[in-house]
Structure 1
Amino acid sequence: MFPGATADRSSAKYVVVGAPLDVSTSFQPGTRFGPDRVRKFAETYDDYHHTTDQFFSELGVHDAGDVRAWDDIPDYLEWLRGTLTDVVWDNAVPVTIGGEHTVSAAGVAAVDPDVFVCLDAHLDLRADYDGNEWSHAAVTRRILDGWPDDGSKSGDGDESDADDESDADAAATADEAVILGARTGSPEEWERADAADVTVVAPEEVADWTPDFDDDTTVYLSVDIDAADPGFAPGTGTMEPFGLTPRELRDVVRAVAPHAVGFDVVEVNDRDDGQAAALAGKLLREFVFSHAASR
């Protein structure tokens, strides 16, 4: 159980769901251990939050455990989507702990937001990676351009093929993506990032970024832990130097949380001494504190 998640499921305002998917990680696997490690390394945190004058254990957080993962990614995501949709139907906020970043597609589909805000070292805008449209390296592309009809590859990776509505759900799962901290991507990804529905904020500009959403704009917030510089969070699959500081991540989470209808933190693995998991658990708590305070 995530520490302080003491509420009954029936009365919960926030429901933590572990999604230990670990199929498409392209360098260092281990995200299957992410949910348990985030829970473990959050055990030392005080219940009280001085900034918002709240106790985590009093905010109606329930931990529903993990949705056991299997290797059929589209099938798993549909199941996870259903689990998270149940949370939304119960008027609670889904809080997902990954698992590889692909699980964000299920969270976004469950809450149907206007904007997908993501802290990430990578653009994740590939049409596919090694022929896999459901790779974690393509998750933001899936969130913007829709889910493939059958999970199969829609072509040779060409942009026009990937955008063909015959090969993907015509309805995008988010209208816009804001990618904060991205510092690498393929030429095709940077080309896709030039489209009107994508905003990329470079690492050196994140500290000055503030959300500019209308009151009725709904947001899904995703934290890929590799947005942090690997010196702060080495326990992740694809480390990328020149990243964000923990305080910069915290400030974004605090700023976006009041607009959010769903949240996840992903890409934590077991290849460090707990630094990445400790940061992920702290950011999860910051999301709940800030979201609850705004209500």
Structure 2
Amino acid sequence: MFPGATDEREAADTAAESARGDANFVVVGAPLDVSTTFQPGTRFGPRQLRTFAEPFDDYDHRTDQYFSDLGVLDHGDVRAWDDVSAYLEWLEGTLRDIVWDDAVPLTLGGEHTVSLAGARAVEPEVVVSLDAHLDLRDDYDGNPLSHASVMRRILDDVDSVEELVVIGARAGSEAEWERATEDDVTVVPPEDVADWNATGWVDNREAYLSVDIDAADPGYAPGTGTTEPFGLEPRELRNVVRAVAPQATGFDIVEVNDRDDGQAASLGAKLLREFVYEHAAERL
């Protein structure tokens, strides 16, 4: 269970009705690990994120809130299997139920492909992706449901999405960079992130916020599948998360694996908590 959250299954067992009725946020683990192209291990991401959130204090001084008071449930993991299309459909249904219950889904990846299920469930107008990579390939090695193609799938398949904003991107194929020049994509390179006005850019549109932990420089988050140097500082990620959180109705942390001493998971778990604190302070 994510520290500070309530176990949804235990709460439902002791209540006359579903615990979901009082939830503002629901954590869902999505341990998909099928298309990772360099260092696999994202199947352990949900476990890592929950484990390395344990040392964090329940109280947030900046917003004067207790995480455990904010209505966070932990649904547990949606067990992954190797039929990615079927898995994404099942995960989408789980996340859509959360949206229909007027709560915000918080997905713990798993590889970045799971963001497609999140975007389908939330149906946002704008997707903000913190990522070292553009993920705009039409396919990778013939696989259109690769983690390297997830943002292309979201643009092509989720009708509500008007724009993709990729923050921190510093890698992509020639074809991806060409796709990124079209009107529905904005790329904010690492050197421009500190001065980027996320609040103004989202501009009251409903957003989905995806954090690929490799957006951070690998010195801060080495536990990820495809490390890319010259990345973002943790405070830069935090500032973007805080800026977008009030407009976001879906959130995920993806591409964390178990190949470090917890640095990636600690950063990812802290960013999730920052999202919850900021969203709650502004929206609840």
TM-score (norm 1): 0.90
**Which one-letter code corresponds to 1:196 in the other structure?**
D
Cα distance, 1:213 vs structure 2: 4.5
Match of 1:275 among 249, 263, 272: 263
Mapped to 1, the partners of 2:31 and 2:136 lie a distance apart of 22
Pairwise mapping of residues 1-295 of structure 1 onto structure 2 (< 5 A)?
1-6=1-6, 8-146=19-157, 172-211=159-198, 212-213=200-201, 216-295=204-283
Q: Which AA in structure 1 matches 2:34? A: V
* Deviation of the 1:10 alpha carbon: 2.9
Tell me how far apart the structure 1 counterparts of residues 33 and 242 of structure 2 sit (CA, whole Å): 28
CA distance in 1, matches of 2:21, 2:221: 35
Deviations 1:211-250 (A, max 9, x none): 2246641000000000000000000000000000110000
CA distance in structure 2 between the partners assigned to 1:135 and 1:214 by the alignment? 27
Q: In structure 2, do the counterparts of structure 1 residues 247 and 214 end up closer, same or farther at CA, with 3 Å as the change threshold?
A: closer
CA distance, structure 1, for counterparts of residue 82 and residue 160 of structure 2 = 23
- Unpaired segments of 5 or more residues in structure 1? 147-170
Residue-pair matches, total: 271
Contact 1:17 1:94 in 2 (8 A): yes
* Cα deviation, residue 6, structure 1: 2.4
**Unmatched runs of 5 consecutive residues or more in structure 2:** 8-18
State the 4+ residue runs in structure 1 displaced beyond 3 angstroms.
213-216
Residue type of the alignment partner of 2:56: Y
CA RMSD of aligned residues (A): 1.1
- State TM-score, norm by structure 2: 0.94
Please name the residue that 1:159 is paired with: none
Structure 1 Cα separation of the partners of residues 282 and 121 of structure 2:
22
SS in 2 for 1:144: helix
